[in-house]
Amino acid sequence: MDQSVTLRATVTEFSWSSPHIVIYFDAKNEKGEVLHWSCETSAPPKMHRDGWTRQSLKPGDQVAIVVHPAKNGQPVGILIRVLLADGHQLGTAGESN
């Protein structure tokens, strides 16, 4: 959890469900290949307190997303924050970066 990565991404799915919200998105790696990522956040009630709603993201949204990536190199991670195309930022209360 001491590393983070910022990815320019296209949201493919936003799963607002318990026990954790999951964001699925596509982002290119350094070779230009599209990788299908997913990242987890907290439970819906906590995310709602942090300013999120079930309409915060939708498929096709272009975002910059900051995650703590998996150590094994897989395209998964823990959400730190999302920067929307309109400049609005959504994060988590525990965001460290």
Q: DSSP string covering 39-60, please? A: EE---HHHHHHTT--TTS--TT
pTM of structure: 0.91
Compute the average pLDDT of residues 23-47.
95
Q: List, for residues 86-95, the tens digit of each pLDDT value.
A: 999 998 865 5
**Confidence class of residue 2 from pLDDT cuts 50, 70 and 90?**
confident
Compute the average pLDDT of residues 74-88.
95
CB atoms inside a 10 Å sphere around CB 3 = 10
Q: Sign (positive/negative) of CA torsion 1, 41, 38, 52? A: negative
Compute the average pLDDT of residues 6-33.
96
Compute the average pLDDT of residues 65-69.
96
CB atoms inside a 10 Å sphere around CB 35 = 14
Domains of the chain plus CATH, in order, are 5-91 (2.40.50)
CA gap 79, 4 in Å, rounded: 9
